[in-house]
Amino acid sequence: MNEKEVSSIIDIYGAIRDENLDRRHLSLEDIKPYMSSLPKDFKLKKIGRSFEGRDIHKIVFGSGPVNILLWTQMHGNESTGTRGLFDLFNFFDNSNEFDPLKDQILDKCSIHCIPILNPDGAQAYTRVNAQGIDLNRDVIDKKAPESVVLQEVLQKIKPDYCFNLHDQRTIFSVEPGTKTATMSFLAPSVDVKRSITEGRKKTMSVISSINRSLQQVMPGRIGRYTDEFYPTATGDNFQKMGFNTVLIEAGHSKGDYLRKESRLGTFLALLEGIRFIALESDLDLHKDYFNIPNNEKKYLDIIVRNINLKDELMDIGVLFIEKLNKEGKLEFEPSVNQLRNLADFNADKIIEGEGLLFNDEKDVEIWVKNTFN
């Protein structure tokens, strides 16, 4: 999308974004009303059950020959992709100046969506499913029923492209500076050599097109994951099977703990990715993929500079750990992530700690917990 198109979409975004979805803890029960009110052109179907018996659904829209499969909340506590997906549904459901573009996409593509693949993990706000299995590392063993459901859909529709949606932690920044990695992407490898296959070229080209659009909205805050091959990872194996897979990671923006900006980034990434697949005749942008800067881990929630620990000056790096309390409400618990010189790090909040004296690491942890809770 060009600058004018992106600007126009931003202008209408407020009308399609539902504020009731602005929550990090997003469960199956939370999205049921939205699924039941989808327009008739969106086909909703139960496709399986989780380990604890919760329904897993698939939503399909479009009638074209190009099959696209996307899923969200493979990790139950990573909900930004689900919110961005429902923004995409609303975009296609609401009449606006982009109706001709939408008609072209729907004529060319059939888009298969699994919102909340891991409903047990979403309910408990955990990365893993109810068996304690990381679904993103269960592609070979398929011990989790959720993994079986995903692969049954994969083999049935034989998608031309997949979108695997995740959230990444606050700690990720964009090389070489210390800006937050608000959005990050990966074209997964198919082997330890990180071979550039034709399938990876197509995946890289989709990501390159997405990057061009997002740089207009969040310049300098788009990162690229290392393409190290993970033998048990979903994306790597789907890519290896011949299903071109785009990994999308929604990240942090300064002060934005509801991840509203990365929700917007996810929506734009999905829309541009699908548009590019459906309408672009020249799909060879893969070289541009390598111009996207790498992710680094140089961002924190809080930095306390120049504290004195056992007569040595250093900084405290604090990251929040997200947990549900006994009432089922999400809390951000401060934890000490680093104790060293953090001059090359950035954070949402930077505090001068000169004059603070600590005898040991335990004292630091207690002070952090009492100060930032």
77 and 96, same domain (yes or no): yes
310 and 322, same domain (yes or no): yes
pLDDT for 280: 84
287 and 151, same domain (yes or no): yes
CATH classification at residue 118: 3.40.630.10
268 and 309, same domain (yes or no): no
289 and 357, same domain (yes or no): no
Tokens 């997964």 sit on residue: 188
Task: List the chain pLDDT tens, one digit each, 373 residues.
Answer: 999 999 999 999 999 999 999 999 999 999 999 999 998 899 999 999 999 999 999 999 999 999 999 999 999 999 999 999 999 999 999 899 999 999 999 999 999 999 999 999 999 999 999 999 999 999 999 999 999 999 999 999 999 999 999 999 999 999 988 899 999 999 999 999 999 999 999 999 999 999 999 999 999 999 999 999 999 999 999 999 999 999 999 999 999 999 999 999 999 999 999 999 999 867 789 999 999 999 999 999 999 999 999 999 999 999 999 999 999 999 999 999 999 999 999 999 999 999 899 999 999 999 999 999 8
Over its C-alpha atoms, the chain yields an Rg (Å, rounded) of 21
Last residue of a domain, which of 275, 296, 317?
296
Last residue of a domain, which of 273, 296, 319?
296
185 and 328, same domain (yes or no): no
264 and 314, same domain (yes or no): no
Picking from 81, 111, 90, 106, the residue whose alpha carbon sits closest to that of residue 13 is 90
- For the chain, helix, strand, coil in percent to 5 are 35, 25, 40
pTM beyond 0.75: the answer is yes
Q: Would you say how long the chain is, in residues? A: 373
Pairing of strands 299-309, 295-297: unpaired
The backbone region for 15, taken as left when phi is positive above 0, alpha when psi lies in -120 to 50, beta otherwise, is alpha
Q: What is the DSSP letter of 294?
A: B
Q: Report how many domains make up the chain.
A: 2
64 and 171, same domain (yes or no): yes
pLDDT for 177: 84
How far is residue 220's CA from residue 10's CA, in Å, rounded to a whole number? 18
285 and 344, same domain (yes or no): no
pLDDT for 282: 73
Q: Which tokens in the block code for residue 278?
A: 């459906």
265 and 311, same domain (yes or no): no
70 and 128, same domain (yes or no): yes
Domain that holds residue 24: 3-296
Q: Which tokens in the block code for residue 49?
A: 């059950």
Last residue of a domain, which of 281, 296, 311?
296
pLDDT for 373: 87
281 and 307, same domain (yes or no): no
